[in-house]
Amino acid sequence: MNSELALFGGDKVIVDPLVRYNPIGPEELEAASQVIKSGCLSPFIGAWVTDGEFGGFFGGQKVQEFEGLIKDIYKVSHAVTVNSATSGLVAAVGASGIEPGDEVIVSPWTMSASAMAILWWNAIPVFADIEDQTFNLDPASVEKNITSSTKAIMVPDIFGHPAELDSLVAIARKNNLIVIEDCSQSPTALYKDRFAGTIGHIGILSLNYHKHIHTGEGGICLTDDAVLAERMQLIRNHAEAVVGDKGVTDLRNMMGLNFRLGEIEAAIGIEQYKKLDKILGHRVRQVTRLNEGLVDLKGLRTPITKDDCTHVFYGYPLILDVNQLECSRKKICRALVAEGVPIGEGYANIHMLPLFQKKIAYGKHGFPWTSDIYSGQVQYAKGICPIAEDLHDRTMMGLNISGYEYSMDQIDLIVQAFHKVWNNLDRLR
């Protein structure tokens, strides 16, 4: 293989196509098959029935078995399955008693569902900046954004590394706020020997198809609070039709939806979680190999794992010192992609989405921001989250570590491609 960059006509380092990540094995196939053969794909009933001939309010056998398994793994009192982590976030915000016009602080550096779950209830997302090591919410920025309207903090654990939860929970307690952890990317990641998702009031897990484990779509809500669990179960399953017979008197946000997980997905989830440690162990070994191979490249920072945390690496973020390299991120990414490396520029800046820039959500007149229900003055102008914005605009690039079935030989080829590009930086410039 010659040393000329593929971008300029040389041979690619990675020639063979990468195989899409797929953790589904014979155990999942058998579990799903048994559910299909039973003919009972979802016995949920949107009414206060607990042991009816055709099902009940709490769902079927596999759903309840899956919830029991998750409670045991995470050592929580309640696990509420839902049909997506997005649904789980919506249910969590509603269960927390968030009202129209309330403010909820959230990171701009995450999937848009975190913020949209807030807006769903006509509450107002307020974006605090992130810290530049793990890219999670910066407690100092959170504290600066608290107002008299603030009622909760939404805390994503981005890329698989837990946020600074002790500091955030302390801020929440001081200000009487709810903490909702969005752990979609961090299953069983540890923060000071505790599972992410079990430290705030509610934690949300994802079972989406490109996560470490998946059921196609799905999510799980964790909590030790029986009232919050009941309210999430109600929102999951047509609350308005259930509260009367169930004797629920607190009707805030009891507009139920159909967020119910099916029996097939639950059966697959049970088998997936049985091998989560094996899956995560393989991912960590891949990342360790990458870190060892890339650590000496100048102007490149590999992912940081804090001493009191574990990292499960849903993503593999890399930071460029573009001033030291004297080469733009765009040129470096183009060269790596040409070598066959699945890498992209930046990540999310949710506050820069058109919805927030124009403040157009419900209808065309700026509701809920322009409504009498909201008395605040939240702004989404560029500059409110300078660290997140600079990472997105100039310095962060991400290797798609969760999308493919990498062998260790392929990891070595990725490292080789990086070294090839770095050896040709003068040519790129």
pLDDT of residue 429: 86
CA 356 to chain centre: 20
| Cβ partners under 8 Å of residue 6, min gap 6 | 12, 13, 335, 338, 339, 340
Other Cβ atoms less than 10 A from the Cβ of 217: the count is: 18
- Count of alpha carbons within 13 angstroms of residue 128, beta-carbon side: 26
In tens digits, the chain (429 residues) has pLDDT values of 568 999 999 999 999 999 999 999 999 999 999 999 999 999 999 999 998 777 899 999 999 999 999 999 999 999 999 999 999 999 999 999 999 999 999 999 999 999 999 999 999 999 999 999 999 999 999 999 999 999 999 999 999 999 999 999 999 999 999 999 999 999 999 999 999 999 999 999 999 988 999 999 999 999 999 999 999 999 999 999 999 999 999 999 999 999 999 999 999 999 999 999 999 999 999 999 999 999 999 999 999 999 999 999 999 999 999 999 999 999 999 999 999 999 999 998 999 999 999 999 999 999 999 999 999 999 999 999 999 999 999 999 999 999 999 999 999 999 999 999 999 999 998
Own/partner long-range contacts of 136-144 (Cβ < 8 Å, ≥24 apart): 136/107, 136/109, 136/161, 136/162, 136/163, 136/164, 137/105, 137/107, 137/163, 137/164, 137/168, 138/387, 139/164, 139/167, 139/168, 139/171, 141/385, 142/105, 142/168, 142/171, 143/171
Rounded to two decimals, the pTM is 0.97
User: Exposed, middle or buried, 399 (CB in 10 Å: 0-12/13-18/19+)?
Assistant: buried
Where do the domains of the chain lie, and which CATH numbers do they carry?
Answer: 6-22+276-347+388-428 (3.90.1150.10), 26-274 (3.40.640.10)
How far apart, in Å, are the Cα atoms of 182 and each of 151, 163, 204? 16, 10, 5
pLDDT of residue 420: 98
